[in-house]
Structure 1
Amino acid sequence: MSDPNTLSLPDNASLFTRLRVARQCLEVLKDDPTNPTCGQLINICLDLNVYASLAQQLRRSEEGRRMLSERPSLQGKELDLDALERLPEGTLGHGFARYFRDNKISPFETTLELKNDIDFIGKRYRETHDLLHVLTGYATDVMGEMELQAYALGNLGIHTAKLILLFSAVEHFKAPQSGVGRSEFLRRVGAAYRRGRASQQFLGFRFEHHWETPVATLSARLCAPAQRMN
């Protein structure tokens, strides 16, 4: 198995190099699925062009250029969950802190060096995953995770999400989980994808400036309404 401490992606890496590093990361993630370095590195390997396009879009606005310059962080070491949880119930900060407490998980952390805007975009995408659970209402079970991947695919065009959805669909069709049949799985994933496409792009939003804003307000601002499932 590859040593995650030695894995890196050279500047201006070719497609072949990116695929090689991605394969090495997959070897690590099979035994260590929460490895923060490989988790971010495989995203950059597969979504380098997507992240480059997103960075270019951010540079078109003053706020986007400020974000790329300041590179705000939502890593666990930057978050005071106790303080956020003391905010009024219904606010983003309170809901975000409760999300981690209720699911018994910790905020995203990585040791990967940010060498350029693309690295920052990859990190920001990983950091906002848990915030999207709070805003979209998608659960943290297998079905909810796939809905969120489909939402991110529709909203940003993330290639990694395609791979995860394809793998999950194959596994689900072999052995449906959580009482969700094949047709419902496809219907819910499709609805989440369309919702993501219809929603405001979330990656350039400064969530850390809105801890005291109600979740309902931010959800209405950033997310298209969820499709009702019959």
Structure 2
Amino acid sequence: MADPTTLALPDNASLFTRLKVALQCLEVLKDDPGNPTCGQLINICLDLNVYALLVQRLQGSEEGRRMLSERPSLQGDDLDLSALDLLPEGTLGHEFARYFRDNKISPFKTTLELKNDIDYIGKRYRETHDVLHLLTGYSTDVVGEMELQAYALGNLGIQSAKLILAFGTLGRLKERQPGVGLSAYLRRLKAAYQRGRASKLFLDVWYEHHWETPVAALSSRLCAPAVKMN
């Protein structure tokens, strides 16, 4: 297995090099799915063009340029969950803190150096994952995680989401997992994808300015309504 501490993507890497590093990251993630280095690195390997387009979009507005300049962070070391927990129930800050407590997980961290705006957008995509769970209402179980990947694919065209969805669905077919049937599972993924396409782009939102905003209000502003599934 590749050593995640030595994996890196050279500047101006070719498609071949990006695919090679992505496969090495996949090898690591099979045994260590929460590895922060490989998690972000595989996103950058597969979604370099997507992130480059998002950087161009942000550079087109004053608020976007300020985000790229100041680089706000939802990384663990930059969050005070105790302070957020004191905000009123229903606000983004309070529910964000409760999300980590209830799921017994910690906020995203990465060891990757941010060499440019594309690296920052790759980090931003990874660290907004937990906020997006709150805004979309998708759960943190296996099906909910796949719905969130489908939403990200529809919303941003994230290529790594395709890979995750393919492997997740293949695993479901092989293991015949209990719970949601295959037909219902596929319908939920399709609905999440279409919802993502119909929603405002989520990656250029300065969530740090919305800790006191009710989750319901922010969700209504950013996300298309969820389709009720039988």
> Shorter chain as normaliser: what TM range?
over 0.9
Number of equivalences: 230
Post-superposition offset of 1:48 = 0.6
Q: Spell out, residue by residue over 1:77-124, the C-alpha distance to the aligned partner (whole angstroms, 9 max, x if none).
A: 001111101100000000000000000000000010000111001000
Q: Distance in 1 between matches of 2:181 and 2:173?
A: 8
> Which residues of 2 match residues 16-31 of structure 1 at below 5 A?
16-31=16-31
Q: Distance in 2 between matches of 1:140 and 1:51?
A: 25
Using structure 1 for the length normalisation, give the TM-score: 0.98
Amino acid at match of 1:108: F
Poorly superposed stretches of 4+, deviation over 4 Å: none
Q: Distance in 1 between matches of 2:4 and 2:203?
A: 27
1:186/1:72 CA distance change after superposition, 3 Å: same
Amino acid at match of 2:46: L
Aligned to 1:13: 13
- Residues 1:220 and 2:215 are matched in the alignment: no
> Which residues of 2 match residues 37-76 of structure 1 at below 5 A?
37-76=37-76
Q: Distance in 2 between matches of 1:6 and 1:142?
A: 30
Amino acid at match of 2:141: D
Query: Which deviates further from its counterpart, 101-110 or 56-65?
Result: 56-65
> Which residues of 2 match residues 176-187 of structure 1 at below 5 A?
176-187=176-187
Q: Spell out, residue by residue over 1:146-181, the C-alpha distance to the aligned partner (whole angstroms, 9 max, x if none).
A: 000000000000000001111111111223434111
Q: Distance in 2 between matches of 1:178 and 1:40?
A: 30
- Residues 1:83 and 2:83 are matched in the alignment: yes
Query: Which deviates further from its counterpart, 155-164 or 170-179?
Result: 170-179
Partner SS for 1:6: coil
- Unaligned runs of at least 5 residues, structure 2: none
State the identity as a percent. 78
Q: Spell out, residue by residue over 1:184-215, the C-alpha distance to the aligned partner (whole angstroms, 9 max, x if none).
A: 01100000000000000010000001100000
Aligned to 1:155: 155
> Which residues of 2 match residues 89-104 of structure 1 at below 5 A?
89-104=89-104
Aligned to 2:175: 175
Aligned to 1:129: 129
